[in-house]
């Protein structure tokens, strides 16, 4: 960052600055497109201001007259202001980044990445683990890039890295959340959701993928506009549309989640009717909720009782809800941020990013360390064996029912035939 009060440029750079000044002037004489005109105008401004600063410093070093010193000081200050203004225009973030919060969240997501990677290897819940390892890894990379950008805010590559990876990371995390809710439907039995378990991932991951593609297209349009010194509004509007679509799809997911919870608690037993007190008791697993669970469990699918009796199992709906709300807050923030433009108030104040993005996503990742599938459901091998047993049992029941129906149809046909015979 250039200081207006203490600008000093090495005089040995004069030859290079003169060459830059000459080259930029000749190119600007024939340039017509916005991109080259903007770029070489900056080169011209920078070289001119630097030469003026060197000249003023030379005068200050040798002048004895007060008037000459005052004039040189004013020229040096003017050159410093020009260079500081040029540096600000090249700032990709339109703010000076602070190291400690970026370094803090680099460390936080590094810890979460290592922990989720270790849990994945240990538990062998590969799909869920992969989504959270990728999600936390992207966040780690994003805040590392921001940390490296401190005092180097004009460098474009770290800026692009952090904006891309921090944008797409929550989609991978939500893919893991969709898996959790789909598996919960399997463990309780069909009939507690409009959607079948496998459709949770199909529908909502597809929505996130569409959102990411739209955001990527908008980001590419905006980046190209920046490089050509054109209007970034069209690309920004496309990005806003992509994030808005993501918010809509997450809103739909929350509706499906609420339907699941309502049916799970209040549609399986005629003895348990809806009330907010009962909902809170079951949702937060209070003493009242624990008293009601045996009554509810008797109506759920047979075979998974040992899983549903695990201590952490009762908190799964709360964990899913809390994690989803955190990501939802983050998406709303991103929507407001981009709607305000690349130099708007929200995007140029780092505190919003740290509190409404970094903190929310970190909390979402931390929730599923406490409520990892291994903690909620037990070893994957045991759960897989139970699922296989239940699946075979249900298949046997279905075949038995179909067989009874066929026998019944035959008896009915015989009776009907006997009647007609008479």
Give the tens place of pLDDT for each residue, 370-408.
999 999 999 999 999 998 888 877 665 555 545 543 444
Residues 249-282 pLDDT 10s: 999 999 999 999 999 999 888 888 989 999 999 9
Residues 327-340 pLDDT 10s: 999 999 999 988 88
Q: What pLDDT band is residue 420 in, cutting at 50, 70 and 90?
A: very low
Q: Does 182 lie in the same domain as 310?
A: yes
When divided into structural domains, the chain yields a total of 2
Q: Does 234 lie in the same domain as 158?
A: yes
Last residue of a domain, one of 31, 64, 89: 89
Question: Given this model, what pLDDT does residue 359 score?
Answer: 97
Q: What pLDDT band is residue 422 in, cutting at 50, 70 and 90?
A: very low
pLDDT of 14 above 70: yes
Q: Report the C-alpha gap between 180 and 230 in whole angstroms.
A: 45
Question: Given this model, what pLDDT does residue 92 score?
Answer: 80
Domain that holds residue 73: 11-89
Q: Does 62 lie in the same domain as 133?
A: no
Question: Given this model, what pLDDT does residue 405 score?
Answer: 38
* DSSP conformation class of 96: P
Q: Does 202 lie in the same domain as 111?
A: yes
> Mapping DSSP to helix (H, G, I), strand (E, B) and coil, where does residue 64 land?
coil
Q: Over pLDDT 70: what percentage of the chain?
A: 85
pTM, full prediction: 0.82
* DSSP conformation class of 2: -
Average pLDDT of the chain is 83
Decide if 332 is inside a domain. yes
Q: Does 143 lie in the same domain as 28?
A: no
Burial of 398 (0-12, 13-18, 19+ CB in 10 A): exposed
Q: Comparing 99-103, 198-202, 368-372, 418-422, which segment has the lowest mean pLDDT? A: 418-422
Q: Does 328 lie in the same domain as 197?
A: yes
Q: Does 154 lie in the same domain as 31?
A: no
Decide if 224 is inside a domain. yes
Q: Indicate which CATH number applies to the domain containing 215.
A: 1.20.1070.10
Give the count of beta carbons closer than 10 Å to the beta carbon of residue 367. Answer: 20
Decide if 151 is inside a domain. yes
Q: Does 41 lie in the same domain as 18?
A: yes
Whether 353 contacts 258, CB under 8 Å: no
Nearest Cα neighbor of 183 from 194, 195, 170, 198 is 198
Q: Report the C-alpha gap between 395 and 399 in whole angstroms.
A: 6
Q: Report the C-alpha gap between 304 and 311 in whole angstroms.
A: 14
Nearest Cα neighbor of 348 from 361, 333, 337, 332 is 337
Average the pLDDT over 15-23 and give the result: 76
Q: Comparing 56-60, 193-197, 322-326, which segment has the lowest mean pLDDT? A: 56-60
Nearest Cα neighbor of 319 from 135, 199, 176, 118 is 176
Decide if 252 is inside a domain. yes
Average the pLDDT over 123-147 and give the result: 96
Residues 87-108 pLDDT 10s: 777 788 888 899 999 999 999 9
Last residue of a domain, one of 62, 89, 116: 89
Q: Does 243 lie in the same domain as 216?
A: yes
Burial of 351 (0-12, 13-18, 19+ CB in 10 A): exposed
Decide if 305 is inside a domain. yes
Q: Does 63 lie in the same domain as 27?
A: yes
Question: Given this model, what pLDDT does residue 2 score?
Answer: 52
Whether 326 contacts 299, CB under 8 Å: no
Question: Given this model, what pLDDT does residue 72 score?
Answer: 77
Decide if 331 is inside a domain. yes
């Amino acid at each position: 960052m250039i200081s207006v009060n203490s600008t000093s440029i090495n005089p040995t750079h004069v030859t290079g600055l003169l060459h830059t000044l000459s080259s930029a002037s000749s190119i600007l004489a024939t340039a017509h497109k916005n991109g080259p005109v903007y770029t070489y105008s900056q080169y011209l401004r920078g070289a001119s201001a630097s030469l003026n600063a060197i000249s003023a410093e030379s005068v200050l070093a040798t002048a004895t007259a007060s008037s000459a010193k005052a004039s040189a000081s004013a020229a040096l200050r003017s050159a410093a202001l020009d260079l500081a203004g040029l540096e600000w225009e090249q700032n990709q973030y339109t703010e000076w980044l602070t190291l400690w919060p970026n370094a803090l969240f680099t460390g936080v997501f590094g810890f979460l990445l290592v922990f989720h990677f270790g849990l994945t290897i240990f538990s062998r819940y590969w799909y869920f683990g992969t989504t959270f390892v990728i999600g936390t890894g992207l966040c780690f990379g994003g805040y590392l890039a921001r940390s490296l950008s401190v005092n180097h805010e004009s460098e474009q590559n770290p800026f692009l890295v952090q904006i891309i990876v921090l944008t797409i990371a929550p989609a991978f995390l939500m893919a893991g959340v969709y898996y959790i809710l789909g598996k919960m439907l399997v463990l309780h039995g069909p009939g507690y959701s409009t959607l079948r378990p496998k459709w949770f991932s199909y529908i909502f991951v597809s929505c996130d993928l569409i959102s990411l593609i739209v955001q990527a297209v908008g980001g590419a349009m905006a980046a190209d506009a920046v490089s050509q010194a054109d209007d970034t509004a069209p690309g920004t509007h496309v990005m806003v549309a992509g994030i808005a679509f993501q918010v809509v799809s997450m809103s739909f997911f929350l509706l499906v989640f609420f339907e699941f919870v309502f049916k799970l608690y209040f549609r399986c037993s005629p003895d348990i009717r809806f009330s907010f007190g009962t909902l809170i008791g079951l949702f937060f697993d209070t003493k009242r909720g624990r008293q009601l669970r045996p009554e509810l469990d008797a109506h759920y699918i047979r075979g998974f009782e040992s899983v549903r009796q695990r201590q952490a199992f009762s908190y799964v709906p709360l964990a899913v809800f809390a994690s989803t709300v955190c990501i939802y807050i983050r998406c709303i923030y991103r929507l407001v941020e981009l709607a305000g433009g690349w130099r708007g108030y929200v995007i140029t104040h780092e505190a919003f990013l740290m509190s409404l993005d970094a903190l929310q996503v970190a909390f979402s990742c931390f929730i599923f360390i406490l409520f990892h599938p291994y903690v909620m459901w037990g070893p994957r091998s045991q759960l897989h064996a139970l699922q296989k047993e239940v699946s075979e049992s249900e298949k046997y029941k279905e075949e038995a029912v179909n067989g009874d129906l066929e026998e019944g149809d035959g008896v009915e046909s015989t009776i009907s035939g006997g009647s007609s015979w008479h």
